[in-house]
A and B are shown apart, each in its own frame.
Chain A
Amino acid sequence: MIQLTKRVEFCAAHRYQNPRWSAEENARVFGRCVNLHGHNYVLEVTIQGEASPETGMVMDLKALKDLIIDTVLARFDHKNLNVDVPFFTEAIPTPENLAVVIWDLLAPALEGCSLARIRLHEDGTTYVDYSGERGPAGEPAGAGRAA
């Protein structure tokens, strides 16, 4: 079993706003992120599988790149995530949620190998990893904080 990773970049605008909250509550929780701003995202897509005895490849990297372009970049690159991506009219376009959306777009599109990890860098100091795992059903929402 081999894992391989393709890295791509996309540029997008977003703002954080929970439509169920008042403007004051949004400003208190999200601070400056309530303003429309943008990032140069770096997306690393890791797939895993066995190398084919015929080609020596888990998957043709060009095919993987094309898949990422058609499936992810066509939706996100040089877009306003809140406006142009239907999922984010309700959900907040954080890196966490973006990684989950990208996973859900790519995982069913792979054949002969599987998606291992989505790593999304929002900038040089922050990134998220998602491997398709979910918490126990019915457990209260994360909302991590200092104990």
Chain B
Amino acid sequence: MPPEPRGLPLVEVTRTYQFSAAHRMHNPAFSDAENARLYGRCNNPTGHGHTYRLAVTIRGQVSPDTGWVMPGEALDALVRRHVLVRFDRANLDQLLSPADGVTSTTEVLAGLLWRLLDGRLAGAVLWRLRIEETPSNFFEVNRLLLRRAAALPDRPGPAAGGQKASHP
């Protein structure tokens, strides 16, 4: 096919997965009493768990040969290899390192999954991750947000960072 004068359509493709994992929110830098106050029932010493639903969005040009941005099975294999085999039926607290964040909030998990998946595609880019911790709570990280955050000054303003946990 001759190259299109306008270029090929840029489309975002989202596929969804799920994994079941246990965790406990606990920041070892704080006292037990402070953890209990901050994280509430999510600080239960014996842990709890969720069926996380993960929506992975990639963005790229549609191939005129296949009509795809990328084969769905190739994305499935990537997510399976780098995320699902590690996180499904696992204890998140054993998978996170201190470099990932203080505890296994879904914010921290989203950042970790982004780092695990980003840069592993050719001909398309990782565009957005959305993680549903429960049907009522979902978290999103995307390339536009990250670009915007990177352009911001590195010292957060006084209002940044929630102090009271609203985790279920």
For the complex, what is the distance from the CA of A126 to the CA of B4, rounded to whole Å? Answer: 27
Instruction: Decide: B15 and A145 in contact? CB cutoff 8 A.
Output: no
Known contacts A29-B66, A96-B67, A96-B69; decide if A144 and B58 are in contact (CB<8 Å).
Answer: yes
Known contacts A96-B67, A137-B7; decide if A142 and B60 are in contact (CB<8 Å).
Answer: yes
Considering only residues 34-54 of chain A, those with a C-beta below 8 Å from chain B are: none
Which of B33-41, B71-79, B160-168 lies on the face that meets chain A?
B71-79
> Of B3, B68, B71, B119, which contacts A137 at CB under 8 A?
B3
Residue from the set A29, A96, A136 with the largest chain B CB neighbour count within 10 Å: A96
With a cutoff of 8 Å between Cβ atoms, the chain B residues found around residue A62 in the complex are: none
Considering only residues 1-58 of chain A, those with a C-beta below 8 Å from chain B are: 16, 18, 20, 29-31
Known contacts A134-B6, A134-B8, A134-B10; decide if A143 and B66 are in contact (CB<8 Å).
Answer: yes
What is the chain B residue whose CB lies nearest that of A94? B67
Q: Quick check: is B122 within 8 A (CB to CB) of the other chain? A: yes
With a cutoff of 8 Å between Cβ atoms, the chain A residues found around residue B4 in the complex are: 134, 137
Instruction: Decide: B3 and A96 in contact? CB cutoff 8 A.
Output: no
With a cutoff of 8 Å between Cβ atoms, the chain B residues found around residue A142 in the complex are: 8, 60-63, 68-70, 123-124
**In which size bucket is the chain B interface?**
35 or more
Binary per-residue interface labels of chain B (102-130) against chain A in the complex, 1 for a CB within 8 Å, 0 otherwise:
00000000000000000111111000000
Known contacts A92-B67, A94-B67, A144-B70; decide if A100 and B9 are in contact (CB<8 Å).
Answer: yes
> Of B10, B17, B122, which contacts A145 at CB under 8 A?
B122
Instruction: Decide: A96 and B11 in contact? CB cutoff 8 A.
Output: yes
Q: Quick check: is A99 within 8 A (CB to CB) of the other chain? A: yes
With a cutoff of 8 Å between Cβ atoms, the chain A residues found around residue B75 in the complex are: 144
Q: Quick check: is B96 within 8 A (CB to CB) of the other chain? A: no
How close is B57's CB to chain A, nearest CB, in angstroms? 8
> Of B14, B69, B77, B120, which contacts A127 at CB under 8 A?
B14
Q: Besides the contacts A126-B15, A138-B3, A142-B68, what 10 more A-B pairs have beta carbons closer than 8 Å?
A: A29-B71, A30-B66, A127-B13, A134-B6, A141-B8, A142-B8, A143-B65, A145-B122, A145-B123, A146-B78
Please name 9 pairs of A and B residues whose Cβ atoms are closer than 8 Å in the assembled complex, sorted by A. A30-B66, A95-B13, A96-B69, A126-B16, A126-B72, A135-B10, A139-B8, A144-B58, A146-B78
The 4 A-B residue pairs with the shortest CB-CB distance in the complex, in nearest-first order: A144-B70, A144-B124, A92-B67, A94-B67
